[in-house]
Amino acid sequence: MRHDFSVRIGPVGFRIGSDWRAPITELESLYRDYPKPHDGVADFTVRLFARRSWRRIIRPSVEIGGDYMLPEAAPLPLRQGLLAAEMAMNLQMALGARRYLLLHASAVERDGRALLMTGISGAGKSTLATLLAARGWRFMGDEFALLDPATGLIHAFPRLISLKNEAIAAAESAWPDARMGPLLPATPKGDIRHMVPDTRAITAMDTPALPALLVFPRYGFEPETRPVPPAEAFVRMTQASTNYVALGEAGFRALTGLIADVPSVAIDYPDGASAIEQVEALWSAL
Amino acid sequence: MVRAVSDARLLARALADPASIVGLDADGWTRLLTMARAEQLIGTLAMRLDGLPMPDAVNAILADARSAAEHGRRAALWEAEMARRALFAVDCPVILLKGTAFVAAGLSAGQGRSIGDLDILVPRASLDAVEAALLAAGWEWVKPDPYDDVYYRRWMHELPPLIHRDRDRMIDVHHTILPLTARITPNAAALIDEAWALGNGLSVLSPENMVVHAAAHLLADGDLAGGLRNLWDIDRLCRQFSDEDPDFYLTVMEAGHRHGLWNEVGRALRLANQIFGTPVKAYHSPITVKWDERPKDRWFRRRITARDGWGRPTRPITGLAFYVRSHWLRMPPAMLARHLWTKWRKA
């Protein structure tokens, strides 16, 4: 394709091709501290392209393609090209990843052990991960935690942090020095701004961590902490994994192993400060 | 160094001659893997290249593809078993087609092959009973559109696709191998009579009919999208069956003739020979079978290898020509006009 860029995020290499220069320039800038794919061979290819050649120029509209595609993916305007690239990369992971069980969870690490946070969109898993990272935890990822069925270890996938709506201001005040992508107003998911994870998250991204705690946060309630029974945690995690079914027996073993080894706790929280307090209390009681 | 090839001949060569990958650089590998994914041949490629020297990153990607193919094989066999149980009470042969048949029969064409829907062939007289039994066992209609439903039932070679409500897997129930509107009418009763029982209540087409079906699917139905995979099936089937029967190419051409598919089978084997080096054998008696390249073969090769290193389909004009051809083959002109008019009004 006319313009292209390769990057490795955690163990996964991507090659992004584009009909336009602009999204590639943004990716080059935001991912400048990341390494290239192992051996120069990307695991996944992503394409940002114009359906008709004139749509490169007139009302340019970015179609999303790649190794794995959804038939109904809607195109985005060119100014949201960075978002299109990120969506396409996530899609490759969600549909194509086989080496790891993909958990739709954010992850942070301390002392070699990982804290996983999972929940529906809006539960606060991204926000909590960035807040914890600001307090000394190592950020491992805000979208996917990669569970290796062979070792039971969590591998980091610290892609750009996709901040939405009010989370943008919260993260900007927690990380005043962070590098930010352009503000993308009025995307299909609201206002979005991408934040580069801190240097430590990137330099340590090849170091996996042993999972130690699985948290199901819920925002907007009085503080409460309760254990989640293993059967419920297992079922909720099957729903939070995009490739659980595709992995077959390996996925089942990996997930039952995780649930058996790691306590599962649901926390309700009214605000970030309270959540941090609850999580730190759980962690020190492990 | 490997000479740069910019279309899917790179993939075809790696499949036919795995040693050709020696000397590929990182870009070459990336293009090869991307093409293989786009052509749904990554699992096949992974099996073919297993054990050869390659960069660790490539090895890891292909190992993933092998385990995905193995999982796909198991799921396909399970789906066939589910259909067998559902159709146990219907007194008719159930013949597995395409990928599921290859893995169920343990053929080399099944090694690493991606398998989507379950395709089965049953006698047309049993169609109603088969449909009722599948519906009773949890399969449901995919297409609620009444025009499509009537169209399928009146003109197609299969029932409208059914999907299982729990397992989310599709089944295509065929009663012959080409649409009823096509100019060619294969002998479905003979396909069923000559099928080989697997011993578990399911059957597969006889070797020559497998190749005839693959050729019909590739060249007499559709626009050759995904054609490289179909042609690879043909190459694998022919290599295996000609090892077992020295006159297999004679048998398969005679079968093609019986089903009205002499030209299609001949062309499919020529293309397999040209693209994958399939070892075809010429005959002068009892019939004359020659494998010399024909002028139009080149256009089919252009279509089948129209894929670039980014996984994009290329040669849009060629593709459009084959798209028009597919409709021309599939139905008479007046019917085609009526069909497209209805579809256009609904779109």
Residue B7: pLDDT over 90:
yes
A213 vs chain B: nearest CA distance in angstroms? 28
Q: What is the pLDDT of residue B2?
A: 46
The β-bridge relationship of strands A224-227 and A210-219 is: unpaired
What is the arithmetic mean of pLDDT over A37-48? 98
Confirm if B9 and B277 have CB atoms less than 8 A apart: no
What is the arithmetic mean of pLDDT over B226-242? 97
CATH 3.90.228.20 in chain A: give the residue spans.
Answer: 101-159+197-284
Domain spans of chain B, in order of start: 9-346
B63 vs chain A: nearest CA distance in angstroms? 9
pLDDT in tens, A128-145: 998 899 899 999 999 999
Interface pTM (ipTM) of the complex?
0.92
Measured CA to CA, the distance from residue A25 to residue A27 in angstroms comes to: 5
- Joined together, the tokens standing for residue A183 give 């503000």
The β-bridge relationship of strands A113-118 and A210-219 is: parallel
**CATH numeric code, A101-159+197-284:** 3.90.228.20
- Residue B21 is given by DSSP the state G
Match 């088969």 to its residue by tokens: B130
- Joined together, the tokens standing for residue A257 give 């192993």
What is the arithmetic mean of pLDDT over B269-289? 95
Whole-number percent of chain B with pLDDT over 70: 98
Interface of B with A in 278-317 (CB under 8 A): 310-312
* B140, burial (CB in 10 Å: exposed 0-12, middle 13-18, buried 19+): exposed
Q: What is the pLDDT of residue B347?
A: 66
pLDDT in tens, B64-74: 999 999 999 99
Match 């087609």 to its residue by tokens: B97
Confirm if B30 and B63 have CB atoms less than 8 A apart: no
Q: Does B57 touch chain A (CB under 8 A)?
A: yes
Contacts with A1 from chain B: Cβ below 8 Å: 310
Q: Does B38 touch chain A (CB under 8 A)?
A: yes
Confirm if B276 and B233 have CB atoms less than 8 A apart: no
Measured CA to CA, the distance from residue B69 to residue B103 in angstroms comes to: 11
A253 vs chain B: nearest CA distance in angstroms? 15
